[in-house]
Amino acid sequence: MRIDVLTVVPQLLESPLQHSIMKRARDKGLLEVHVHDLRQWAVNKYGQVDDYPFGGGAGMVMMCEPLANAIEFLNKSRHYDEIIYMTPDGQQLVQKECNKLSMVKNLMIICGHYKGIDQRIRDHFVTLEISIGDFVLSGGELPAAILIDSIGRLIPGVLNDETSALTDSFQDNLLAPDVYTRPEVFRDWKVPDVLLSGNHRMIEEWRLENAEKKTAIKRPDIISPRK
């Protein structure tokens, strides 16, 4: 998979993509992430990519010309399955969407900044708008890093144990069950006996029941009743 990111602050994406699982994915050649400084397509020698909004008001808006030129430049080399704009008023990012996006070949992500991007870019180029929650950040770079991580870890071969991602929260409309590790007893706090039993059928039943109870308490809006 290849992901191209357009941003005015490429430095914000350096650390999240150069460590842990994302580094492993890139080192294995399973994920390419190319971060492009939008100022390469600035409208003047001063690197301008934003201007005041028509109609007045506070803040600055990212201009059409740099974004359109950048998008069209990248489009010359490959077809993008989605051109994604990270924005608070987009559809909320959920696991099902991550699963879907992890199976495509090429993605482009536009990181907004300031007061956002000129609406004409959204109207004519963007194919998918994604929000990571009902709050506002300084720009789309951190949401883009979250999106890339949530997609990249699902690519086959990225995780050492590929079944691990299948048991994550939200994969089956349930939160993940409680987990424990050694020691068996810590400060008189014991691991549930069933997890030490070696009976895999009983363990799986306990995990399902635990996940259903946890989801009913914490996220009843997503629970999927047992059939």
CATH number at residue 195: 1.10.1270.20
Q: What is the pLDDT along the chain (227 residues), one digit of tens a residue?
A: 999 999 999 999 998 988 898 988 999 999 999 999 999 999 999 999 999 999 999 999 999 999 999 999 999 999 999 999 999 999 999 999 999 999 999 999 999 998 999 999 999 999 999 999 999 999 999 999 999 999 999 998 898 765 566 666 566 789 999 999 999 999 999 999 999 999 999 999 999 999 999 999 999 998 755 55
Residues 108 and 141 in one domain: yes
Say how many domains are in the chain. Answer: 2
pLDDT value at residue 13: 94
To the question of pTM greater than 0.75 for the whole model, the response is: yes
pLDDT value at residue 172: 78
pLDDT value at residue 139: 96
Residue 116 lies in a domain: yes
Residues 211 and 130 in one domain: no
Q: Which two structure tokens, joined as six digits, stand for 221?
A: 């809006």
Residue 204 lies in a domain: yes
Last residue of a domain, which of 129, 152, 175?
152
Residues 95 and 198 in one domain: no
* Pair 85, 107: CB distance under 8 Å: no
Q: What distance lies between CA 110 and its chain's CA centroid?
A: 13
Residues 186 and 114 in one domain: no
* Pair 146, 111: CB distance under 8 Å: no
Residue 225 lies in a domain: no
Closest CA to 87 of 38, 133, 124: 133
pLDDT value at residue 222: 87
Residues 148 and 176 in one domain: no
- Per the structure, the complete domain to which residue 172 belongs is given by 167-218
Q: Which two structure tokens, joined as six digits, stand for 130?
A: 């994604």
Closest CA to 36 of 59, 69, 61, 65: 69
Cα distance between the two ends of the chain? 36
